[in-house]
Amino acid sequence: MENAIYTPEGYTDRIRQELGNCLIETNLSKGEKFIGKARDRYDLGDRVVLITTDRQSAFDRVLAAVPFKGQVLNMTSAWWFEQTRHIVPNQVLSIPDPNVTIAKKCTVFQIEFVVRAYITGSTNTSLWTVYQSGQRHYCGIDLPDGLMKNQKLPTNYLTPTTKEEVHDRPISPDEIVSENWMTADDWEQCSRIAQELFAFGQAKAAERGLVLVDTKYEMGRDENGEILLIDEIHTPDSSRYWIADSYQQRMREGQEPDNVDREFLRLWFRENCNPYEDEVLPPAPDDLVIELSRRYIYLYEKITGRSFEFPEADQPIETRLESNLEGIT
């Protein structure tokens, strides 16, 4: 794993230095604040300020704070948003800080568009867990018998989920329309966009020696009624990535693929506690958090072809945010 995921000398030390300087919460004096899993959103009326924090969540709870995670997610999304404008417009207006996007306000479809190319996962809602339980009809799709974990699916499957307060719920296209989550026309348009985005992402990832395993998209309408891509795209939080060169060999040996996302963190918590039921979880070891940060930075550099720009050392992130957002009202 370590040999497959290389970052330049000095990255690990810099990450370790920032373990105590993570962006966990924000307190801007701008607009109404909404707190999500990884992002804090401030409503400015016709625009929103989206601040991507370093909070790392899984199993519907925060597991750790990961140095530079928010910057990686925000800047990775920024790159993909630019690359995919020919498929669908997006809500990005400006990026005044590595952790911040100023975005056009949208009416959000309360559906997440999850596209999968492989059957995998370790959470209770993952496709592999569902399949292992014996379920063969999922989100309106009939799954074939005899699939193995981490195997490529016969085709890319779109498996939507609802966006709800407590738990997202898998849902079929027919149910999306009959339960009035979306109109048939909106669903048809958004599902086509999701499939096109994923195929484009797969091709770009393959050029860079990566496998885009699965991902989720969110979309909404702007004030003119135009459908926009929102939130994030093809980040290591919204997507799974594997190292392409080692995939086949590791499958033959019955090993998990080399992953460049948070899956190995999920697996650690599954092995060391019950992350769904234990009231108090063990703290993620520093070395595990550092490795996750390193993988996220690796993915950013691998995808974009750019060197990761570390912010000024010893400057509290909150101070930098206040300075960079000073003129935004």
Q: pLDDT by residue (tens digit) across 3-57?
A: 467 788 889 999 999 999 999 999 998 899 999 989 999 999 999 999 999 999 8
Domain count for the chain: 1
Closest Cα to residue 311, out of 320, 302, 303?
320
In a domain, 217, yes or no: yes
In a domain, 4, yes or no: no
Lowest mean pLDDT among 60-64, 73-77, 104-108, 175-179: 60-64
Radius of gyration of the CA atoms of the chain, in A: 19
In a domain, 298, yes or no: yes
CATH number assigned to the domain comprising residue 292: 3.30.470.20
Q: How confident is the model at residue 58 (pLDDT cuts 50, 70, 90)?
A: confident
In a domain, 253, yes or no: yes
Q: pLDDT tens-digit profile of 183-215?
A: 999 999 999 999 999 999 999 999 999 999 999
In this predicted structure, what is the pLDDT of residue 328?
A: 85
Q: How confident is the model at residue 261 (pLDDT cuts 50, 70, 90)?
A: confident
Tell me the percentage of the chain whose pLDDT exceeds 90: 83
In a domain, 81, yes or no: yes
Q: How far apart are CA 63 and CA 283, in angstroms?
A: 8
The whole-number average pLDDT for the span 253-262 is 90
| Distance (Å) of CA 252 to CA 248, 263, 267 | 6, 20, 20
Q: pLDDT tens-digit profile of 118-175?
A: 999 988 889 999 999 999 999 999 999 999 999 999 999 999 999 987 778 999 999 9
In this predicted structure, what is the pLDDT of residue 73?
A: 97
Q: Is the pLDDT of residue 2 over 60?
A: no
Concatenate the DSSP letters of all residues of 156-203 into one string: EEE--EE--SS---B--HHHHHHTTSS-HHHHHHHHHHHHHHHHHHHH
The whole-number average pLDDT for the span 230-254 is 96
In this predicted structure, what is the pLDDT of residue 4?
A: 63
- At a CB cut-off of 8 Å and minimum separation 6, what does 206 contact? 212, 244
In this predicted structure, what is the pLDDT of residue 258?
A: 92
In this predicted structure, what is the pLDDT of residue 20?
A: 92
Give burial (CB, 10 Å; 0-12/13-18/19+) of 248.
exposed
DSSP state letter for 76 = H
| Distance (Å) of CA 66 to CA 232, 285, 288, 291 | 18, 11, 10, 9
In a domain, 263, yes or no: yes
In this predicted structure, what is the pLDDT of residue 162?
A: 97
Give burial (CB, 10 Å; 0-12/13-18/19+) of 320.
middle
In this predicted structure, what is the pLDDT of residue 239?
A: 95
Q: How far apart are CA 322 and CA 172, in angstroms?
A: 43
pLDDT averaged over every residue in the chain: 94
In this predicted structure, what is the pLDDT of residue 9?
A: 80
Q: How confident is the model at residue 60 (pLDDT cuts 50, 70, 90)?
A: confident
* Domain span holding position 234: 11-324
Q: Are the C-beta atoms of 224 and 107 separated by less than 8 Å?
A: no
Q: How far apart are CA 20 and CA 18, in angstroms?
A: 5
In a domain, 2, yes or no: no
Lowest mean pLDDT among 70-74, 303-307, 314-318: 314-318
Closest Cα to residue 229, out of 92, 26, 35?
92
In a domain, 246, yes or no: yes
